[in-house]
Amino acid sequence: MEYTGSKYIGEYVDGRMEGKAKYILPTETIYVGEMKDGMFHGEGTLYLPSGSQYDAIWENGLAIKGTYTFADGLHYDEKNWHYCDGYDRRFHTEILNGLKPAGMAQLTNMDPPRKIPRGYYDCGDGFCNPVTRVVKDYRNRFLRNADDDEHEWITRTCRKG
């Protein structure tokens, strides 16, 4: 664990992570559930730093069946996914709480929307500096360097501060 930056709180069998456990990854994603031979196995939930979660049945480290829930409570449904599609472009909060009066546009699912630093773009998982192309999460932690394609997409489609 000391080499990966992860933290394991749970049971061991023959020196291997096995049984009920809590596994904290360096990205602050937390797995709570069953382990077998050092892998996610059985029922378990991944809690993401964004507030979203993935409840799944795991088999030898792979999710074989699961449900994704966004931080705002919206459940992803693979077969009947109609959120923000070509027919209904409302945000989840608009579906739950109704539309705003005419002239008061809602720009994101978050209402009021996140304040974007001057000159930066909100690319959905963080802010992008268009000069350095560095994307940092909303807590100002490094996520990635945007390549040419992502940089072009961000500057063409994302909200700018």
Q: Which domain holds residue 118?
A: 114-160
Assess whether 15 and 46 both reside in one domain.
yes
Looking at residue 72, its pLDDT comes to 77
155 confidence band (pLDDT: 50, 70, 90): very high
Q: At residue 30, does pLDDT exceed 90?
A: yes
Assess whether 90 and 118 both reside in one domain.
no
Answer whether residue 53 is part of any domain: yes
| Helix, strand, coil abundance in the chain, percent, nearest 5 | 10, 40, 50
Q: At residue 8, does pLDDT exceed 90?
A: yes
Assess whether 11 and 60 both reside in one domain.
yes
Q: Quick check: helix, strand or coil at residue 65?
A: strand
Query: In which order are the strands placed within the sheet that holds 159-160?
Result: 142-145, 134-136, 127-128, 121-122, 159-160
Answer whether residue 2 is part of any domain: no
What CATH number does residue 18 fall under? Answer: 2.20.110.10
- Please state the domain count of the chain: 3
